[in-house]
Structure 1
């Protein structure tokens, strides 16, 4: 919430046009990133998955969407064949299995965040 509130402070007035535009761009980026993740997962392209995780991690961090940010960081690391939490290297199959689970999870986390943000802007 604190990061989202900082974004709201950038608005020049109560219309929230600036922050709304940022959030709408985030929705668009996330939708495309999820399509790209699905395609990269089907191709078993770990490098692309890592890059996409990194990209969405940054966009999510900008708006304070922490759960999505954290899951995307894991996708990024798994794509690099690394499990930082366990401190181990992964093989391709392990990484792909973990990423497949995380892609489902991150889509759910994103959907909850999107719903919350859309409701917030409706109530304004």
Structure 2
């Protein structure tokens, strides 16, 4: 059975060079990296709730800002699957379909606020999935519930 480090590396959920630098900081302060990830989990859960609220209000500017905020936090921790979906939220909030994502809903007028909200909902669904997978992998790695 592969060890926890190898399992996490092979999961593809973390960018290993970034993650390993964070883990190395534990030598100076025990539990430092785990505390960073616990803080991130709290941030994500709170921000996902804010995104849900702003989706209802179709507040694209606020959604873009929330996507930008989480993108940076996720990237700093090497959680690239979450970061890339948050980048989509950020761009769609600015009405920028930078990745040419096609929505499979012919009832929605392209470039309407509803269109951008639907694109953000897709990105959020994938961000949540990436978060759940990453959280489980990190729980296994740290042998703790984050």
**Same fold, TM exceeding 0.5?**
yes
1:52 deviates by 0.5
Which consecutive unaligned segments of at least 5 residues does structure 1 have?
none
Alignment partner, residue 82 of structure 2? 68
Which consecutive unaligned segments of at least 5 residues does structure 2 have?
1-15, 101-109
In the TM superposition, 1:1-124 aligns within 5 A as 1-12=16-27, 16-86=30-100, 90-122=111-143
* Structure 1 runs, 4 residues or longer, greater than 4 Å off: none
Q: Which structure is larger by alpha-carbon Rg, 1 or 2?
A: 2
More helix by share: 1
1:91 deviates by 3.5
On the 8 A contact 1:49/1:75 being kept in 2, the answer is yes
What is the TM-score with the length of structure 2 in the denominator?
0.77
On the 8 A contact 1:57/1:70 being kept in 2, the answer is yes
1:93 deviates by 2.1
Number of residue pairs the alignment of both structures matches? 121
Higher relative contact order (CA 8 A, sep 6+): 2
Which whole-Å CA distance do the structure 2 matches of 1:47 and 1:67 have between them? Answer: 23
RMSD: 1.9
1:10 deviates by 1.0
SS of corresponding position for 1:81: coil
Cα deviation 1:35-54 (Å, max 9, x = unaligned): 00100111111011100000
1:55 deviates by 0.5
On the 8 A contact 1:83/1:90 being kept in 2, the answer is no
